[in-house]
Amino acid sequence: MTPDQMRDASLLELFNLEAEAQTTVLNTGLLELERNPRDAQQLEACMRAAHSLKGAARIVGVDAGVRVAHVMEDCLVSAQEKRVLLTAEHIDTLLQGADLLARIGTPARAPSEADIEAFLAQMAALLDPPAVAGTLSHTPGLPRVAGLPVPPPTAHTDPASAPAEEPATEPPADVLAQGSSLGLRSGETGERVLRVTAQRLNGLLDLASKAMVETQRFKPYLATLQRLKRLQGQSLRALDNLKGQLDLHPQSAEVHEALAVAQSLLAQTQQMLQQQTVELDDFAWEAGQRAQLLYDTALACRMRPFADVLGGQARMVRDLGRSLNKQVRLDVEGDKTQVDRDVLEKLEAPLMHLLRNAVDHGIEAPQLRALLGKPAEGRVRLRASHRAGMLLLELSDDGAGVDLEQLRRAIVARGLSAEDTAAQLSEQELLAFLFLPGFSLRDTVTEISGRGVGLDAVHHLVRELRGNIELRQVTGQGSRFVLEVPLTLSVVRSLVVEVGEEAYAFPLAHIEHSLHLDPSQIVQIEGRQHFWYEGHPVGLVAASQLLQRPASNGPQAPIKVVVVRERDTLYGVAVERFIGERVLVVMPLDPRLGKVQDISAGALLDDGSVVLIIDVEDMLRSVENLLTAGRLERIDRRAGPAMVHVRKRVLVVDDSLTVRELQRKLLGNKGYEVAVAVDGMDGWNALRSESFDLLITDIDMPRMDGIELVTLLRRDSRLQSLPVMVVSYKDREEDRRRGLEAGADYYLAKASFHDDALLDAVHELIGGPQA
């Protein structure tokens, strides 16, 4: 292989990938060795990492990399053979070597020859000079391989006793493309790794999300078929009644023959509708399952372990502690927790701020810790876990915590609150000041802190991720930051509302509460409309004005209000209707549109209709602009005329008390009138004695199961057109077919049973709660 071939760009790219992976191993292992210099496992891992990098550097012709990696390997082998006990100075120098190796294959970042020589000289001072002297420079007498000097044998490569040096690993033959790496690197799991562009991966996820949404469009077709089936049943009953009338008043034979033909045709079409409805339901269910699997697989390709964001954090904590003459250790739990790579990238900066804050502000100096009876080594703990579709991060330290009295004095000194008011502030109210722009407890500015931008920046970055951050502390015992952010930015949990007959979504991360407000609760303060929320006046604005949609002319009592928060700003946004909570697949707007005011992205609802996702921060800026210009419109407080509505009645049949009460509560809260029955027999008696708009029944019940109940209902001329929903723990295809063939209009599995699924299905079958 010629030198030009060895320096081929693709080989250098492979070397940089390997250097990134192996220096991560070195950083992690060296930090462990600082705590336990005799850890055989970590010594072996670090030695192997240095050895691999030496071989890789030799292949691509990076002379400096060979020299740095070789002397590091020699030091680590000496530690393995107990000829050297690694001290803090050894670890410092080895970490410097890892930094050099991380940069050495990139021309724009490559260290200078002076840096290399300084490192080698520093290593020589720490080791036995004769053992490493041959590695410090290009000695003219050394043999050369492909233009590179070959280091002389060391104690661990004695040609007479040691095995031959392992050949350098050939670069993997995986396909390369410009862009981000997909999945784990080669060697972590033994799987082949294909590198693709982030743009292609995002495109795949976008297509998968659209496929998942498209499958939801089967629902209205199924609902139409069900309605058509019911109309067919009603038509057959009408013909039966007509036949009865003709029997009382005999007509010609031709009339009876025509009636019989019509009855036969309707019966055949009803049978065909029944069959097609069942088949379409099966197809829709299977398509939905496959689309969901496709989306989950595409999303999993974007997921990376949380450890990826920790690459330099443990090292940063250690180095910062040493610069402040503090002993600090970072312990990490849940480093294998899977998170979207975009979220990981955005978490790096806030985590660095919080870790620096813990080391600088939280952990005390060793002398003070000794006086307080604490271990000399301070502990910073970072824990990652999943909770309800969110990534939960907890970062705590065992340091001094926040001096609340000092904080109170700083608030008063900066004119942020009057002294008597500050004296009444609770702990949480005091701690909230730490997140304000420019606020700091330090009187002097250092390279590390004092400018008041740390926690403010953290708060801003976390809110950009549609997340929340909270500070808890115990003075003298430490602080704990709790961050909750989405596992992925590809989906967002939202409250979908209606404004001007269009759907909009408010991300739940920005919502404090949603409520119904009586017009009499609106008060005027300084010429603006407010309402009282948790003891404080909150400004009220109309979403129709902000989003430039026509205001509804219908009755507005009560007023639907979404209470949104951005930092310390709280507003109530009046909307026309709450559609419900949804998990939306985010679809970025076309970049050619530029920044759309008050809108961050789009999404598709289950029926394929478009919903725009609100940019809450931008919306609140729009409110301030309208206030400044004096153009904020008032909400009409007049209530519409009283209207009498008949509530629709639903019968719930289930032998489980928990399920019955859950469904009764969910439907009752939405305005439906709900009756319950404990089994099929009880339900059948209720159906024959009372009138209902919908039957919801379980399948497996004592005395009479749900299939028998539905079969009896469909044979009864008075009840056969009643809409029926079957809910069951079974979600197998044959169970669904059984329920639908018995005559059910809708089949809902309890395995995926949740508020929206049940309420959406009820709304499809009988509409809203009032007739």
pLDDT in tens, 276-301: 888 888 888 888 888 888 877 887 78
**What whole-number distance in Å separates Cα of residue 188 and Cα of residue 644?**
68
Closest of 750, 687, 747, 736 to residue 714, by C-alpha: 687
CB–CB of 162/170 below 8 Å? no
Residue of 259 and 654 predicted with greater confidence? 654
- What is the per-residue pLDDT for 754? 57
Backbone angles phi, psi at 426, to 5 degrees: -75, 170
Q: Does domain 649-766 have CATH number 3.40.50.2300?
A: yes
Higher per-residue confidence, 679 vs 760 = 679
Q: Which fold has domain 311-486?
A: Heat Shock Protein 90 (3.30.565)
Query: Has residue 531 got a pLDDT over 50?
Result: yes
310 has pLDDT over 70: yes
Q: What does the alpha-carbon distance between residue 259 and residue 210 come to, in Å, rounded to a whole number?
A: 48
Q: Is the pLDDT at 164 greater than 90, yes or no?
A: no
Between 409 and 488, name the one with better pLDDT.
409
For residue 372, pLDDT over 70 is answered with yes
Same fold, 3-157 and 491-629: no
> Is the pLDDT higher at 313 or at 81?
81
Neighbours of 614 (CB within 10 A): 27
Reported as a single tens digit per residue, the pLDDT across 676-703 is 998 889 999 889 888 899 999 988 888 8
Edge to edge, the sheet with strand 610-614 lists 577-585, 491-499, 502-507, 610-614, 599-604
Residue count of the chain = 771
Find out whether 581 and 575 touch, Cβ atoms under 8 Å: no
- β-bridge pairing 599-604 and 390-397: unpaired
Q: How far is CA 542 from CA 32, 88, 199, 560, 623, in A?
A: 58, 63, 38, 10, 10
Across the range 93-113, mean pLDDT stands at 86
> Under 8 Å CB-to-CB from 730, ≥6 apart: which residues?
699, 749
558: preceding bond cis by omega (within 30 degrees):
yes
Query: What pLDDT score was predicted for residue 393?
Result: 92
Residue 553's pLDDT band, with cuts at 50, 70 and 90, is low
Work out the percent of the chain whose per-residue pLDDT is above 70.
Answer: 82
> Where along the chain do its domains lie?
3-157, 200-303, 311-486, 491-629, 649-766
10 Å Cβ neighbour count for 171?
19
Question: What single string gives the DSSP state of each residue in 665-729?
Answer: HHHHHTT-EEEEESSHHHHHHHHHHS--SEEEE-SS-SSS-HHHHHHHHHHSTTTTTS-EEEEES
Alpha-carbon gap, residue 383 to 537, rounded angstroms: 38
Rounded Cα–Cα distance for residues 364 and 556 (Å): 58
Q: What pLDDT was estimated at residue 154?
A: 39
Q: What is the mean pLDDT of residues 232-243?
A: 77
Q: Are 559 and 574 within 8 A, CB to CB?
A: yes
Superfamily of chain region 491-629:
CheA-289, Domain 4 (2.40.50.180)
| Bridge partners of residue 587, in order along the sequence | 602
Structure tokens at 199: 């743009």
DSSP classification of residue 435 = G
DSSP states of 640-656 as a string? Answer: PPP---PBPEEEEE-S-
401 HSE (CA, 13 A, CB side): 11
Burial grade of 384 (CB within 10 A; 0-12, 13-18, 19 or more): buried
- Give the position of tokens 């952010």: 485
pLDDT score, position 223: 75
The total of other beta-carbon atoms located within 10 Å of residue 294's CB is 17
Reported as a single tens digit per residue, the pLDDT across 649-670 is 999 998 888 788 888 888 888 8
> Burial of 211 by CB count in 10 Å (0-12 exposed, 13-18 middle, 19+ buried)?
middle
In this prediction, residue 419 carries a pLDDT of 85
pLDDT confidence of residue 405: 87
* pLDDT of 369 over the 80 cut: yes
For residue 556, is pLDDT > 80?
no
Average pLDDT rounded to a whole number, residues 392-396: 92
Using the predicted structure, report yes or no on whether residue 431 has a pLDDT greater than 50: yes
Helices (H), 515-565: 543-546
Q: Provide the pLDDT confidence category of residue 390 given band limits of 50, 70 and 90.
A: confident
CATH topology of domain 3-157: Four Helix Bundle (Hemerythrin (Met), subunit A) (1.20.120)
**Contact between residue 614 and residue 600 where contact means Cβ atoms under 8 Å apart:** yes
- 752 pLDDT band (50/70/90 cuts)? low
Q: Is the pLDDT of residue 454 over 90?
A: no
Output the CA–CA distances (angstroms, integers) from residue 148 to 71, 487, 639, in the order listed.
Answer: 16, 48, 88
- Report the pLDDT value the prediction gives residue 613, as an integer from 0 to 100: 92
